[in-house]
Amino acid sequence: MKNELKITDIKGSFELCNEVQMPYLGLGTYLSDNDQEVVDAVKSALQLGYRHIDTAAAYKNEEGVGKGIRESGVDRSEIFLVTKVWNDDQGYEETLKAFDASLNRLGVDYLDLYLVHWPVEGKYKDTWRALEHLYAQKKIRAIGVSNFLKHHLEDVMSDCTVVPMVNQMEFHPHLVQQELIDFCTDNGIQYESWSPFMQGKVFELDICTDLAKKHNKSEAQIILRYNLQKGIVAIPKSVHTKRIASNADIFDFELSAADIAFLDGLETGERVGPDPDNFNF
């Protein structure tokens, strides 16, 4: 499996196609309030050893994320910071403005990764050109997309200068999409998961309970280890210090090939989030 031998500790990373190191475990901040809640979550994660923080303009908490980074005591250069351009800001000039606005809210002068949040029809290719421009200017260390299916990726790749380096997708045992993972791997695109716990539904699956007992780990730890062993970057969201710490306690055990096959076999195609081919926002 991709990168399997590189799973070492909380600060470990997968290498992107441009040789930038992307930490394979990060803190997600979706629905974290832009107040002390997200500030404390970011500080806790960084002080626990996390080095990857994921946010988005649409989460409306970039200011809090930036404050948490500044108050953490961890040098900015050690942190892999990600945000995303929202759908209302897509298009070439609009994206350039949105990028500057995100930097201003975060209080930083560069990003480690900038993502196109959703494939807005008629706009995402112009948005991608803007990301290529920002990347060429060295304002972003890596550029990628989120919620792009194979045909969206092929459309971008048909005439792009830089192939997307990351694709952040809904991923969990009911939505594995192995063909899409394989397509990304074959094209040097790092796969990343959002909603790895199916908005909590994963904890109701018997197989996860069985695996948790087998490995003496929590269901959440099983699922996060599953992500990493498939070569997928994981960014579980939490605002609770104990849970943030627990989510990182996944480096003292290993799932077997049979365990992973069991989890892959739970694929149903069920989404807990919007369909990238049918969203209206």
Structure tokens at 103: 């930097």
Distance CA 186, CA 13 (A): 19
Phi, psi (deg, nearest 5) at residue 101: -65, -40
59, 114, 124, 135: the catalytic one is 59
Amino acid letter for position 140? I
Specify whether 50 is catalytic.
no
Nearest to 29 by CA among 53, 63, 57, 58: 53
Give the torsion sign (CA, 225, 228, 232, 236): positive
Q: Which residues are annotated as catalytic?
A: 59
